[in-house]
Amino acid sequence: MREALVDVGAIARNVEALRNGENAMVIVKANGYGHGAVESARAALEGGASWLGVVDLDEALELRNAGITAPVLAWIHDPATDFAEAVSRDIDLGVNYVGQLEQIAASEGRANVQVKLDTGLGRNGVPEGEWQAFFARAAAMEADGSIRVRGLFSHLSSAGSAVDQQHLARFSSAIEQARAAGLDPEHIHLTATGGTLQLPAGHFTMVRIGIGAYGLTPFEQGETVPVPLTPAMQVSASVVNVKRVAAGAGLSYGHTYVAERDTTVALVPLGYFDGMPRHASNAAPVSINGETYRVSGRIAMDQFIVDVGDASVAVGDRAIVFGDPADGVPTANDWAAAADTINYEIVTRIGPRVVRRYER
């Protein structure tokens, strides 16, 4: 009934186009941005990715337990995390402060770490004022064999902006300081999809590809992506009820939509539990039988209504919420605009009742 059809071939092609022959880490966190982590990871590797990126160890272990042996980096850790399994299963650990480095080094075996640096985003990462001391401590630990510093990385705030030139300058300074402390990191990465496309000077030894792998733009509405991308997910559901209502009838909670004339309404079993943002009520587009309509009334937890006028719509017809615009259907960007959010949120919110099905 509710389905997210994911084209893994599109993910592979998107990765190949975006990395453009460069060494690339593809991010499959948050269940592969809602597309399915394991399937997205395999498609990314098919497209030439050499690394996979996730947020935490649970996500990393999901890949390992699925038989994926490619290099994996996980970079956010609960302070109660036991790093022993990560070390034993060859998962690189992002490190953000000295105490975390000490905790990882205490695990049995030699841990591979990549140092996250705060170059101006203000989130995770070693602050600039602590770099010199941190690198000195990391070099000492590497010398005693408890860790291996395999990488340095940071994250931009808004790819292509003047602010990101400052990020780039700080990151370049950090690399010099790390090397001066005796570290020789193999993997140095800064840019996500947007920076990969707009900031070539920030590519270093590896680029990171996130939202672009799934065929979606990281840019503001109207900005052009300079490589061809194919949205990999189509979300749809069967129409489960159709009825005629009279002019003046109110639809859904609060009657924020009132029929202007006698009309037909179709009920679609997708709601905010399934990832349809309530803020998109009365605004988001839906395609049924090749025609595009609007959500009519408030989106509820499990369903929304579409006023289809006098069109011939029947129970069992497919309502496509978003997909590839080449198919003449609405996009995740359209839903993002309707909800005043970003396409990242639209695809990652798709809930567990929506069955993922994979094709190529």
Angle at 216 between CA 319 and CA 186, to 5 degrees: 145
- Verify whether residue 358 is a known catalytic residue: no
- Verify whether residue 253 is a known catalytic residue: yes
CA distance 258 to 218: 36
Chain CA centroid to CA 165, Å: 24
Could you tell me the strand order of the sheet in which 91-95 lies? 187-189, 147-153, 111-116, 91-95, 72-74, 51-54, 24-27, 207-209
Six-digit token pair at 13?
A: 């092609």
Angle at 57 between CA 55 and CA 62, to 5 degrees: 100
Question: Which of 25, 34, 7 lies closest to 346 in space, CA to CA?
Answer: 34
Six-digit token pair at 280?
A: 């998109």
CA distance 163 to 170: 11
Per the residue annotation, which of 29, 33, 344, 358 is the catalytic one? 29
Which residues are the active-site residues? 29, 253
